[in-house]
Amino acid sequence: MSDITALSASELAESLASGDLSSAEITQAHLDRMEATEGIVGSFLARSETALDTAQHSDARRKKGEARSPLEGVPVAIKDVLCTTDMVTTAGSRILEGWIPPYDATVVRKLREAGLVPLGKTNMDEFAMGSSTEHSGYHVTKNPWDLSRAPGGSGGGSAAAVAARQAPVAIGSDTGGSIRQPAAFTGTVGVKPTYGGVSRYGVIALASSLDQVGPVSRTVRDSALIHDVIGGHDPQDSTSIPTPWASMTEAADTGAQAADLAGLRVGVVKQLVTEGIQPGVKQRFDEALELMAAQGAEIIEVDAPHCEYAVAAYYLVLPAEASSNLAKFDSVRFGLRVTPEGNPTVEDVMAATRDQGFGDEVKRRIILGTYALSAGYYDAYYGSAQKVRTLIQRDFAQAFDKVDVLVSPSAPTTAFPLGAKLDDPLAMWAGDLTTIPVNLAGIPGMSLPMGLDPEDGLPVGLQLMAPAYEDARLYKAGATLERLFFERDGYLVSSRTPEVV
Ligand code: GLN
């Protein structure tokens, strides 16, 4: 048997079903891998102390013929923004240091009920604000492809863990790209489901009108398997969509078996393929379009003119909602409490706690958001941003009248060097151009590797977008494309992580 940690979740599931491997063996292999690589990669904020016990319990169930899902016994890493009763949950912030939630997020509960084995909580930018994971209140996560580079963010820990084979699959959250951009930077697959497709109950809120939870994996099918476990209606989340969903796994399997892309209408969003795109990213994107055309897809250029204002609108909507969501971190109910000397008032304690507990990026956004929501400015800032959002939604709706899926590069660049954008928030934010419109429109988006940049040798992500509720379309098209890229290149990008082999 080849190295267990090189196997995909689908392959692990098969080995478990056939009895070739036990969950205890699989889990131990990943724990060993974490032990060997965590010192250089730094994907995790907390490790589960019960993973092996859970795995043994899972093996016992399977022996009795009581496997709860195809993924029974498969390990998973969980972004630290999801509440877990058995592990500290901090959202990457010092203000929640040591906090153990009283309940599991619905997604975590569903993973446990499907028999998956949580390995630990992954590193992230504080409260999911960032694009490099450098805004974590704890430590920097390195990109397993090049340790001098960022793994993307905010879910850099989940993506790095999967790329470094510390976990076969991981859970992320995506408010403006935090699943897709780290996936692109680490050569993995990441999916932001339709808004309302996956429960946010027990997910520490960043911007409630944008947040979605989704999978990160090394293959399209693995993301589909996870999506099927975590997706679906949850009465505890009022934004959760009550209608039933198609099977993402079946869609991925259909796509993988498709001979070609005949009949697929692929729209290229002009405004997301801008001048500023790194030449190697543009080259791989053009080659992907050529490949799709050669395989029978019809490539159509489409306009989404208001995407030009997407970054500006997002960086008003997000701070506004975040400033309100983060008001609950007041030193009274959760985590840290800093009591200044002398005879402090309640307000003094709150101010000192928030000053010490929050990092610079979080403070920056709270200030921005509070300002944007303040009397006299509300209409000019938050109101205008919401109008832009409606226009972007309309742009996408019109585009989907003409095409089945939309495509763009997942990010304008490959993974940038650590520190490169840390002192320049505007540069950091500008990199979110390609992913943000998807959240503003509420539609599903997938990033999958489409090759390596010929200059820096780093992974390049292709973003696929579909109309709301049509997540299955992404898995079908994504699985066909993944196979086509494999046939063209002779390898899957996600199987090669040079710095940690
Ligand atoms: N990079 C974006 C931001 O900083 C996206 C964050 C996210 O999706 N959580 O807001």
Q: For residue range 144-176, list pLDDT tens digits in order.
A: 999 999 999 999 999 999 999 999 999 999 999
User: Per DSSP, which regions of 141-238 are E strands?
Assistant: 169-174, 189-192, 212-217
Q: Where are the domains of the chain?
A: 4-266+401-495
Name the nearest CA neighbour of 127 among 84, 198, 164, 178: 178
Q: pLDDT digit string (tens) for 459-496?
A: 999 999 999 999 999 999 999 999 999 999 999 999 98
Length of the chain: 501
Name the nearest CA neighbour of 430 among 228, 275, 211: 275
Nearest CA to ligand 1 atom 5: 176
Nearest CA to ligand 1 atom 2: 176
User: In angstroms, what is the span from residue 436 Cα to ligand 1's centroid?
Assistant: 8
User: In angstroms, what is the span from residue 284 Cα to ligand 1's centroid?
Assistant: 25
CB of 129 within 6 A of ligand 1: the answer is yes
Where does residue 48 fall: left (phi above 0), alpha (psi -120 to 50 degrees), or beta otherwise?
beta
**Structure token digits, residue 80:** 């630290």
Q: pLDDT digit string (tens) for 182-214?
A: 999 999 999 999 999 999 999 999 999 999 999
What pLDDT is attached to residue 1? 42
CB of 150 within 6 A of ligand 1: the answer is no
CB of 175 within 6 A of ligand 1: the answer is yes
Q: Cis ω on the peptide bond leading into residue 131 (within 30° of 0)?
A: no
> Which of 318, 368, 447 best tests ligand 1's pocket when mutated (most atoms within 8 Å of CB)?
318
Confidence of residue 498 (pLDDT cuts 50, 70, 90): confident
Please, where are the H alpha helices in 306-345?
310-325
Q: Give the Cα separation of 106 and 410 in Å (integer).
A: 28
Catalytic residues: 79, 154, 178
Burial pattern 446-484, b for ≥16 Cβ within 10 A else e, equals bbbbbbbbeebebbbbbbbbbbbbbbbbbbbbbbbbbbb
Nearest CA to ligand 1 atom 10: 129
- For 293, the enclosing helix (H) or strand (E) is helix 279-294
**Structure token digits, residue 487:** 């046939």
The stretch 304-319 carries a mean pLDDT of 97
Q: Give the Cα separation of 211 and 199 in Å (integer).
A: 10
Q: pLDDT digit string (tens) for 404-425?
A: 999 999 999 999 999 999 999 9
The stretch 74-80 carries a mean pLDDT of 98
User: In angstroms, what is the span from residue 115 Cα to ligand 1's centroid?
Assistant: 30
The stretch 345-372 carries a mean pLDDT of 97
Confidence of residue 2 (pLDDT cuts 50, 70, 90): low
User: In angstroms, what is the span from residue 129 Cα to ligand 1's centroid?
Assistant: 5
CB of 128 within 6 A of ligand 1: the answer is yes
Q: Are 106 and 236 in contact (CB under 8 A)?
A: yes
The stretch 271-288 carries a mean pLDDT of 96
User: In angstroms, what is the span from residue 125 Cα to ligand 1's centroid?
Assistant: 9
Please, where are the H alpha helices in 73-219?
106-113, 156-163, 180-186
CB of 435 within 6 A of ligand 1: the answer is no
Q: What is the CATH number of domain 4-266+401-495?
A: 3.90.1300.10
